[in-house]
């Protein structure tokens, strides 16, 4: 399938800079705190969740991702939204540092545990739609898996239980929030994530993330370039 306009949504500027440089994107707008970049004909957008004025760090997590998606959809009307970034994987499921995964079947939340009747439990998990990724995975040698979103960097036993019950392969902090907004507006969505650390080695997660960020960002750039060239009209 081909698209007239694709929007890439990301949280961390360090992850985005290789793509901004490769596609020669220029900043075209600031929607506090969202930074939007585009190519010359605006067929390719890249939108960052911006920086926290209070703490001077990237606005990571689902709150900023929701706003980022709303801003991009309402101002630029993309046909496809791609959320890409880095994430944690399971060593026990044969994930390797630098592996790039594409979303399969659905994205969900693992940390919105709402123990109320009448659909609130299901609402908390989300289970939002993603486009079929089988052909893209095969063509570009990507791993596929269910991607799960949470706002904590670490993982507790309840989160892990939910991830295991849902056969989750990748843990990150934005995809489900973005997918929810895309589903509201009936816009196609996929997530593409490069592995920086292992969820099942929690004692090393933070250190591994920082040590492997450059490698994962490089691998992510390589795959995103291939996918954009294939999907963009």
Q: Do the beta carbons of residue 56 and residue 66 sit within 8 Å?
A: no
The 10s digit of each residue's pLDDT in 116-149 is: 999 999 999 999 999 999 999 999 999 999 999 9
> Domains of the chain: which residue ranges?
6-231
Length of the chain: 233
Tokens 């390797």 appear where? 96
The 10s digit of each residue's pLDDT in 6-36 is: 999 999 999 999 999 999 999 999 999 999 9
Q: What is the pLDDT of residue 169?
A: 98
* Sign of the Cα pseudo-torsion (136, 140, 141, 145, in order): negative
Q: Do the beta carbons of residue 130 and residue 105 sit within 8 Å?
A: yes
Supply the pTM of this predicted model. 0.96
Pairing of strands 168-172, 44-48: unpaired
Catalytic residues: 15, 197
Looking at CATH, the fold of the domain delimited by 6-231 is given as Rossmann fold (3.40.50)
Whole-angstrom Cα Rg for the chain: 16
């Amino acid at each position: 399938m081909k698209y007239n306009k694709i929007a890439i949504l990301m949280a961390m500027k360090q992850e985005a800079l290789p793509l901004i440089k490769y596609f020669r994107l220029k900043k075209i707008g600031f929607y506090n705190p969202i930074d939007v970049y585009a190519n010359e004909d605006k067929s390719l957008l890249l939108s960052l969740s911006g920086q926290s004025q209070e703490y001077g760090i990237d606005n990571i997590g689902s709150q900023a991702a929701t706003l980022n998606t709303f801003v991009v959809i309402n101002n630029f009307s993309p046909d496809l939204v791609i959320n890409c970034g880095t994430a944690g994987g399971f060593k026990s499921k044969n994930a390797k540092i630098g592996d790039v995964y594409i979303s399969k079947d659905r994205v969900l939340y693992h940390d919105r545990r709402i123990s109320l009747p009448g659909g609130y439990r299901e609402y908390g998990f989300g289970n939002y739609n993603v486009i079929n990724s089988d052909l893209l995975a095969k063509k570009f040698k990507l791993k596929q898996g269910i991607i799960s979103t949470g706002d904590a960097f670490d993982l507790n036993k309840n989160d892990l239980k939910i991830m295991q019950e849902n056969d989750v392969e990748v843990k990150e902090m934005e995809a489900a929030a973005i997918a929810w907004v895309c589903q509201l507006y009936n816009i196609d969505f996929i997530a593409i994530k490069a592995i920086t650390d292992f969820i099942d080695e929690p004692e090393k997660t933070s250190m591994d993330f920082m040590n492997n960020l450059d490698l994962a960002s490089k691998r992510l750039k390589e795959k995103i370039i291939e996918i954009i060239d294939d999907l963009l009209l």
